[in-house]
Amino acid sequence: MKVIRLYNLTPQTSYKLQINKTMNWKALWEAVKLPLRLLVLSIIPVLITYVASLPAQWAGFLTTILVILDKYLHEAEVAKPVKEQNEGVGGVRGLTGF
């Protein structure tokens, strides 16, 4: 791995720094999937509570139920043999599909 010393950079070359090419993009994708799942799963409850003028606690409650259901469906697919699994964009599906 090449080490770049910041004190040797000139103003002309400092903007040319690139992302480390050994970065594990798969690990980054795995880290980003949980917040994306929560965002996707929370859109519907937030819209329902907004339109129905319900207290905001219902959005949190419904999001929690959807997250539990998503995780259950994901774990149920993982428990199946590999040939029978329903593959999504980034792996085995739950409600969100990634």
Residue 61 has pLDDT above 90, yes or no: yes
68-95: b or e for each residue (b if 16 or more CB lie within 10 Å)?
A: eebeebbeebeeeeeeeeeeeeebbbbe
What is the model's pLDDT at position 14?
A: 47
pLDDT tens digits, 38-54: 898 899 999 999 999 99
Give dist(CA 47, CA 12) in Å, integer: 48
Residue 15 has pLDDT above 50, yes or no: no
Residue 70 has pLDDT above 50, yes or no: yes
pTM, full prediction: 0.61
- For the chain, domain boundaries: 40-98
Q: Cα dihedral sign for 26, 28, 29, 33?
A: positive
